[in-house]
Amino acid sequence: MIALAGIESCKTLAEFLVNLIPGGVVFGLVEKDTFVWVKASDSFAMDIFTVGNKLNDDTTTMQAIHEKKVLTQNIPRTVYGKRVSIVSIPVIDDNGDTVGAFSIAFPKLHPVAAAFNDFAPILAEMFHEGAFLYMSDLTKFAYTQPSRKFDMPTITVGKDLSEADVAYRVIKSKQPIIEDVDASRVGVPLNVANYPLVEDGDIVATIGIVTPKKTAGTLREMSENLENSLTGIAAAIEELSASAMEIHSNEEDLNSDIKEIINVSEKINEVSDFIKEIADETKMLGLNAAIEAARAGDAGRGFGVVAEEIRKLSAQSKSTVPKIKQLTDTIKQKVEEASEKSNRSLDASQGQAAASEEITASIEEITSMSGELNTIAKTL
């Protein structure tokens, strides 16, 4: 308690202290129930601390006067709009009677809030895509800190919390919330983390950090595109390998057709051998007929002519044989060339089938990698 005689000293001291206390302070002297002297700091003042203002009985100061003892009370924001602590010290005259009180009021701040302006500017720059830090009390945004790279211009100090705000939900649920916000909200995907700040078991504020996730978003988008492209490629390769298989089976058919052609030309040769045999036989017949005709002398002359004709015919028939042979040889040669080419195609198509299988395997590997990438991108 302060003696009335020392009150002037207190006032003098208060004059010095008022702007030295971080967060600000307001001093006031009450006589009976009315402020007679008030000294407020530059950064903090209270309307109730006004000279001439008369106090109600339920105020801390009046209670201290009545109870004749020093009282400290934390006043919730519902009373003065901000949380304050008020210390009231009764003032006593020489007779020991309470004549008034010396009251000191200062804003009540969570230590995090008190330090916000110190750490937030530094912290905000520590994220490579920038960050936006903010604090809210139970109803309003109280502090904001943009970074050079990132700002949330819609969030301003003094703006009321709305149901959509993460801070609002944290206050309601009393639980921290970390969530992703897609690009539809502010143009880039965001991650919002918000924690409740508790004092004496009650939530008094929240602190939040908003980080843009442009890189992660881009990465996710790219990995999704990659996955889609890979699916397309895989389908194309499947078609490719199917057509390689078709080529393969066509070439096999072609090969067996070619063998058939070779068989047929062998058969032609057989037929032509038969023609040769007949021609030989006919020739002999003709020669024998000629001999016979000669032996018959004049009587055989006509027969000799016939014999000569027969020999000519046989010679003609026989002359077709090497021609046929030549033709079938050409057929065989061409067909063998075709067969060789088709075998090469067969090899090539086998190679193609093998290569497309290898590609398919690689694509599968890449697909699974891109799936992993996608998963990673989602957790960033």
Partner 1 sequence: MGSVQLVVFKLGEEEYGIEIGHTQEIIRIPKQITIIPDMPSYVEGVFDLRGKVVPIIDLKMRFGFTHTERSTDSRLLVLDLENSLIGIIVDDVSEVIKIEDETIEKLSSELLSLGGNRIQGIARIDDRLILLLDGLKFKTEVLTNSNE
Which chain residues interact with partner 1 by CB under 8 A? 280, 284, 287-288, 290-292, 294-295, 307-308, 311
Contact call for residues 245 and 353 (beta carbons, < 8 A): yes
Nearer to partner 1, 70 or 287 (CB): 287
Which CB sits closer to partner 1, 292 or 372? 292
CB of 248 to partner 1, least distance (A): 45
> In whole angstroms, how close is the CB of 247 to partner 1 at the nearest point?
46
Least separation in angstroms between CB 294 and partner 1: 4
Coil, helix or strand at residue 28: strand
Closest CB to partner 1 among 312 and 323? 312
Biggest CA-to-CA distance, the chain: 194
What DSSP state is assigned to residue 82? S
CB 100 within 8 Å of CB 31: yes
Instruction: Give the position of tokens 């006593």.
Output: 92
Of the pair 178, 294, the CB lying nearest partner 1 is at 294
Ramachandran category for residue 260: left, alpha or beta (phi over 0 → left; psi -120 to 50 → alpha): alpha
Where is 203: in which H helix or E strand?
strand 202-212
Residue 73, exposed/middle/buried by CB under 10 A (0-12, 13-18, 19+)? middle
As a whole number of angstroms, the distance between CA 371 and CA 367 comes to 6
As measured in angstroms, the least distance from the Cβ of 311 to partner 1 is 7
Return the number of the residue (46 or 293) whose C-beta is nearest partner 1. 293
Pick between residue 5 and residue 291 the one whose CB is nearest to partner 1. 291
| Long-range contact pairs involving 171-178 (C-beta distance under 8 Å, separation at least 24) | 171/136, 171/138, 171/196, 171/203, 171/206, 174/203
Taking the complex as a whole, how short is the minimal distance between the CB of residue 300 and partner 1, in angstroms? 11
- Give the residue with the Cβ less far from partner 1, 182 or 292: 292
| Nearest-angstrom CA–CA distance, 49 and 37 | 9
Shortest distance in whole angstroms from residue 292 CB to partner 1: 8
From the CB of 265, what's the least distance to partner 1, in Å? Answer: 21
CB of 285 to partner 1, least distance (A): 9
Query: 301 or 378: whose CB is closer to partner 1?
Result: 301
The CA–CA distances, whole Å, from 301 to 85, 284, 329 equal 159, 18, 43
